[in-house]
């Protein structure tokens, strides 16, 4: 780290996303506030015979406007379509003119938990049916999970730092946090950061179902994802992408950018507990939150809103509540806490991205989005979970939690920008 690390401030100046609730942040935010749910019966393939038959699919999506040509769309996987489209939306929203900035100082960190699963599945079928000579020469560049990050940079000639984080459902927050650190240490002026995922394919649906991780409330899709509810029975897979534009403050001010918030803290820890199960006491998540607060120079009681990772799994939601109580103590009861996964589904590697977009919109409007489908609150999840309907609430600082298989914990803290 350079000597000026602590002096460089990082703000969010652009938002872009695509999800089951819409293809831009304003539409997604409007639908979240309206209590809409993007989950339905899977339509992209015949789901008959699968244990879990519901998901939050992106419908009526055309990625072509974000790409140089329709040919480029055909040469890339669906997860890349989502990532590039979200980045394109964030670029438009930011008002950044790429013709007037030093593209050596513009970087991209768009991660993915799994990458091109659709391509992997389709090309394996080709191999078995037609032999190795018929496998596509585009197979590898289509499926490797760094391609959303690489192709978005290629299409826009962004030559700064570039990588793809991969930490399961913690992926997007790691991308945003590492982008924040990259700007803080002076290696970039602008970073596009977030995540993308497209795993609603037969292999993805059957694999997660085999783990008994997903809801089987197939007859009631709109109420299947129930974070913090006593009757929750697993997560519901979502797909899509979300990207934020992070910018060094001076760079943003010089071009008169609109500022959504300032990123002030980032936490990154590991449970080192189990391949897929979180630490039951939430100690790893708690240490990540404490790390972020330390970066931010903030007390726990200065956080107003927590966008919880809460995926609607029986174990995970309680572990997160334990982590919040461990860090916030008495203030935990005064926090507004909500999970928006009942609306968007669990977008895996894109989850932290879409939830960071939602946090920025919540701060902008001073409204906490609701946790839908809490009909019977779990007594172990005894926080203010903002059930069913949004609530006007002063938000000067938010915390966004993301936790992933492998014990990964990543958190982001954002504050209202004050010059």
pLDDT tens, residue by residue, 110-154? 999 999 999 999 999 999 999 999 999 999 999 999 999 999 999
In the chain, where the domains are located = 5-254, 265-415
pLDDT computed for residue 2 by the predictor: 37
For the domain with range 265-415, which CATH number is right: 3.40.50.300, 3.30.70.20, 3.40.50.150, 3.40.47.10?
3.40.47.10
Tokens of 241: 């992408």
Q: Rounded to an integer, what distance in angstroms lies between the CA atom of residue 317 and that of residue 329?
A: 18
Question: Residue 131 has which token pair?
Answer: 């032999």
d(CA 171, CA 276): 15
What lies within 8 Å, CB to CB, of 3 at 6+ separation is none
- Pick one of 3.90.1150.10, 3.30.300.130, 3.40.50.300, 3.40.47.10 as the CATH number of 5-254: 3.40.47.10
pLDDT at 1: 33
Closest CA to 362 of 317, 304, 403: 304
User: For the purposes of burial, counting CB atoms within 10 Å of the CB of 38, is it exposed (0-12), middle (13-18) or buried (19 or more)?
Assistant: buried
Q: Which of 25, 16, 3, 32 is nearest to 307 (CA)?
A: 32
Ranges of residues in the chain whose predicted pLDDT is under 50: 1-3
Asked if residues 259 and 11 have their Cβ atoms less than 8 Å apart, the reply is yes
Give residue 274's pLDDT: 87
Nearest to 21, CA basis, from 373, 342, 272: 342
Cβ–Cβ under 8 Å, residues 270 and 284:
yes
Residues whose CB is less than 8 angstroms from the CB of residue 293 and which lie 6 or more positions away in sequence, other chains included: 265, 299, 300, 303, 327, 413
Q: Which two tokens stand for residue 366?
A: 């001073």
pLDDT at 276: 76
Model-level pTM? 0.96
Give the catalytic positions in this structure. 169, 309, 346
């Amino acid at each position: 780290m350079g000597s000026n690390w602590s002096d460089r401030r990082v703000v969010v100046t652009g938002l872009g996303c695509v999800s089951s609730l819409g293809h831009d942040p304003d539409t997604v935010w409007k639908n979240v506030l309206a209590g809409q749910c993007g989950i339905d019966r899977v339509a992209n393939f015949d789901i008959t015979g699968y244990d879990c038959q519901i998901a939050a699919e992106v419908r009526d999506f055309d990625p072509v406007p974000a790409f140089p040509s329709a040919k480029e769309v055909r040469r890339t996987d669906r997860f890349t379509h989502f990532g590039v489209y979200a980045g394109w939306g964030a670029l438009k929203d930011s008002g950044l003119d790429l013709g007037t900035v030093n593209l050596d100082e513009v970087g991209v960190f768009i991660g993915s938990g799994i990458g091109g699963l659709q391509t992997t599945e389709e090309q394996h079928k080709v191999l078995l049916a037609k032999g190795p000579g018929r496998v596509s020469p585009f197979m590898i560049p289509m499926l490797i999970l760094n391609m959303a990050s690489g192709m978005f940079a290629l299409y826009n000639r962004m030559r700064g730092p570039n990588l793809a984080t991969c930490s399961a459902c913690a992926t997007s927050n790691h991308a945003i946090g590492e982008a924040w650190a990259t700007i803080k240490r002076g290696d970039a002026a602008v970073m596009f950061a977030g995540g993308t995922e497209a795993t609603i394919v037969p292999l993805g649906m059957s694999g997660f179902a085999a783990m008994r991780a997903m809801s089987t409330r197939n007859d009631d899709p709109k109420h299947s994802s129930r974070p913090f509810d006593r009757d929750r029975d697993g997560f519901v897979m979502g797909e899509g992408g979300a990207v934020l534009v992070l910018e060094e403050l001076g760079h943003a001010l010089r071009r008169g950018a609109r500022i959504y918030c300032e990123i002030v803290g980032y936490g990154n820890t590991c449970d080192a507990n189990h391949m897929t199960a979180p630490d039951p006491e939430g100690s790893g998540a708690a240490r990540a939150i404490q790390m972020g607060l330390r970066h931010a120079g903030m007390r726990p009681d200065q956080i107003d809103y927590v966008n919880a990772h809460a995926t609607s799994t029986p174990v995970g939601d309680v572990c997160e509540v334990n982590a919040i109580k461990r860090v916030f103590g008495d203030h935990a009861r005064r926090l507004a806490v909500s999970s928006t996964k009942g609306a968007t589904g669990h977008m895996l590697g894109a989850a932290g991205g879409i939830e960071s977009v939602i946090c920025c919109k919540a701060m902008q409007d001073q409204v906490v989005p609701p946790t839908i489908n809490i009909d019977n609150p779990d007594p172990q999840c005894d926080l203010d979970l903002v059930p069913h309907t949004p609530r006007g609430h002063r938000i000067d600082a938010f915390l966004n939690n993301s936790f992933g298989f492998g014990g990964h914990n990543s958190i982001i803290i954002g504050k209202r920008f004050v010059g």
